[in-house]
Chains A and B, each alone.
Chain A
Amino acid sequence: MVSLAPNITEIVYALGLGDELVGDTDYCDFPPEAKKKPHVGTMVNPSLERIVALKPDLALGTPEANRRETADQLERLGIPLYGVAASTLAGTLASIEDLGRILGRASEARTLVAEMQGRIDRVQKRIAGQPKPKVLFVVWYRPLITIGPGTFIADVIRAAGGAPIGENLKGEWPRLTLEELLPQDPGVILLPKTESFSPSTKEFQSLPGWKDLRAVKEQRMFFVSEAIERPGPRLVDALEEVAGILHPTGP
C-alpha cells in the first residue's frame, strides 16, 4: 500500500504494517525508516507514474492533505483509495481504529487507541478543575495565522486544559490581526517547532504589536514538537507536552 500523507504513514507503522508500505510522500519522516521508502512526491501533487510503478493494492489518503483530483485520477487508474479524516482528537483516535479495521489489524489498533485514551484521561484528571489559560497557537506570524476552532490542534489545546484563541473565527487557518489579538491577551503562546519556522522569542519582543502582549513580555512563549500538527499516534505526546506547559506539575 501507498501512503499519501505523513500522519497516515505514522499510523501504518504504529499498526506494525511498515513492511507492507511500498511508498510514501517526500515529507514522511517518522518513524525514521519511513524516509527510506520509495517516495511518490508531495501530498498535493504526487506522481501518478511513481504510484502506478509501485503496484500498490491500496492507496491511503486524507482530504486534509490530498486533492480530489488525485482521488479521481487514482480511481481512473483502478487503484482503490481509502481516505481518513480527523478534525478532532477523538477523530484521530477513531481514524486509527478505522485504518486498523480495514488493514486487518483491528486488535492492534484498539490496543493503541486504548493506550492513547488512557494517557489522555490521566492528563485530564491531573488538570481537572484548574483554570484554563488563553492560548494562542501561531501557525505563521507574518501575517498572524492561527488555528480555527474546528481543528484537531484546537481540540488538543482544549484537552490539555487551555482555551484556544480564535473560537469565533471561521475556517481552518484564519488570519488574525494584531488589533483583534491584543484585547484577547493570551496567557501562553505556542509555536510549532519545525525546520522552516523557528523564529526566536527575542524576535517577537521587537515586533510591533507583539511586544505589547503579556505573553511576550513575560516570556511565556513555548515551542512545541511538530507532532502537534500530525493527527496520528504522536498527537498524545503533543497533548502531554502542551499540558505540561499550561499546567506545570511540581513546585
Chain B
Amino acid sequence: MTLPATPRNVIVVAAVLCLLLVVTVWVSLTMGAVHLPWSDVWAALASPGTNSEAAVIVREIRLPRILLAIFVGAALSVAGTGLQALLRNPLADPYVLGISSGGAVGAIFALWIGGRVAAASPLAAFVGAVVTMVWVYLLGRHGGRLASYTLILAGVITASFLSAVILFMLTLLSTRDVRGIAFWLMGDLSVTPVKELRILAPAIILAIAGLYVLAKDLNVLLLGAEEAAHLGVNVVRVELGVYLLASLLTGMAVSASGAIGYLGLLVPHLGRMLVGNDHRMLLPTAALGGAILLVLSDTLARTAVAPAELPVGAVTAMAGAPVFIYLLRKTAG
C-alpha cells in the first residue's frame, strides 16, 4: 500500500505509531519476572518519591531498558532503511556491512587490554564501528564513489573476517570475561545506565533527523545513480551522507546494547509494506515501528523463561527469521 507522503498523512501515521508505542511501553512496564499489578506501575510512575520494590523495579529496571529499546530500535531500523535505499538492495542492513562486528571487536579489545567492560567498552565499540565504516568505504568504493555491489562485498568480507577475529579474541580472554562478552554479543539492553542515554538519545534523534532531511533525495536515488544525477541530485554527497549517518546510528546502537540483528533488515520491509517507498513517510514509520518491535522483543526476552532471560538478539532472530522467510516467499510468488 502506498500512502502519498503529504505532510498531513505523515503526521497521522506518526501519531498512530506513537500511540501504539505508548501502549506497548505501558504494557511492557507491567510485565516482567516479578508480577506487578497496573496500580503499582502507575503509582511508581506518578509519585517519583516512593521507594517500594515495585517502584524500584519499574523505574530503575524496566523503564531504562524500555527507553533504551526505543532508541536502539529506532536507530537500527532507520540505519537499515537508509542503507537499503543507498545500496538499492533489500538485503542491506547494518550488519551486512560489518559495522556491528567492528563495534564488537572494539569492545572485546577494550576488555582484553584490561579494565571494566562497562566503563571502557561503549566508547571502544563506537570507535570500532566507525573505523570499520571507514575501512569498508575505502575498500568498497569504486571510481571514487560508493558502488552498491562492491560495497556489499567489502562489507560481507569484513564482517566474516571480524567474526573470526572475535572468536580468536574470545579464546584469549579469561573465562569470566568471555561470559560477560557473550551476552553483549547477543544483545543486552540492561547494561547501559540511564545517564548514558542522556547523550545517546539526542545523538540518535539528530542522526535520524539528518537522514530525514535526505529523504526526498533517497526517493530519487532509488531510480538509480545515473538517473538521480540527471535529476539534479548531488549523488556523491547524498550517498556519503546516508552512509555516514547510517553507520553512526549503528555504532551508537551497538555500543549501547551489543549485537541485535534483524531489525535493520526487516523493519524497512515491513514499513514499505505498510506505507510504501516514499522515504518521507517510510523513515518515521521505520523509526517508530523499530522502537515498538524492539520493546516487544525485549519484553518477551525478559518474560518468556523468567527468571532467566533470553538475549534480546536471540529473540529478534527467532522472530525475525520466519517473518523474513514469509516476506521472501510473498515477493517471490
A interface, CB within 8 angstroms of B: 26, 39-42, 44-50, 52-53, 55, 63-64, 67-69, 72-73, 76-77, 171-173
Contact = CB atoms under 8 A, between A and B. Distances in A.
A67 B179 contact: yes
B34 A172 contact: no
24 contacts: A41-B33, A41-B307, A42-B308, A47-B33, A47-B306, A47-B308, A49-B34, A49-B57, A49-B62, A49-B307, A52-B53, A52-B56, A53-B53, A55-B53, A63-B176, A64-B176, A67-B176, A67-B180, A68-B118, A69-B180, A69-B190, A72-B116, A76-B60, A173-B175
Contacts of B309: 41, 45, 47
B258 to A, nearest CB: 11
Contacts of A69: 117-118, 180, 183, 188, 190-191
Interface residues of B, number: 27
A33 to B, nearest CB: 19
Q: Which 7 A-B pairs have the closest CB atoms?
A: A47-B307, A41-B307, A47-B33, A49-B33, A49-B34, A53-B34, A67-B180
A44 B190 contact: no
B320 interface: no
Interface in B248-305: 302
Contacts of B308: 26, 41-42, 45, 47
- The listed residue with most A CB atoms (<10 A of its CB), out of B61, B117, B188, B306, is B61
Nearest to B310: A45
B175 A172 contact: yes
B175 A77 contact: no
B39 interface: no
Interface of B: 32-34, 53, 56-57, 60-62, 116-118, 174-176, 179-180, 183, 188, 190-191, 193, 302, 306-309
A172 B61 contact: no
Contacts of A40: 307
B32 A49 contact: yes
B54 to A, nearest CB: 8
Nearest to A175: B171
A50 B33 contact: yes
A127 B310 CA distance: 49
B33 A171 contact: no
A171 B174 contact: yes
Contacts of A67: 176, 179-180, 183
Nearest to A69: B191
Contacts of B174: 171-172
A69 B117 CA distance: 8
Nearest to B306: A47
Contact of A53 (B57, B175, B176): B57
A44 B175 contact: no
Contacts of B176: 63-64, 67
B244 to A, nearest CB: 31
Contacts of B34: 47, 49-50, 52-53
A217 to B, nearest CB: 32
Nearest to B65: A48
Contacts of B32: 49
Nearest to A79: B56
Given A49-B61, A52-B61, A69-B191, 9 more contacts: A41-B307, A47-B307, A47-B309, A49-B57, A69-B183, A72-B191, A73-B190, A76-B193, A77-B56
A134 B308 CA distance: 40
B193 A48 contact: no
Contacts of A49: 32-34, 57, 61-62, 302, 307
B48 to A, nearest CB: 16
Given A47-B306, A52-B56, A173-B175, A77 B183 contact: no
A162 B176 CA distance: 27
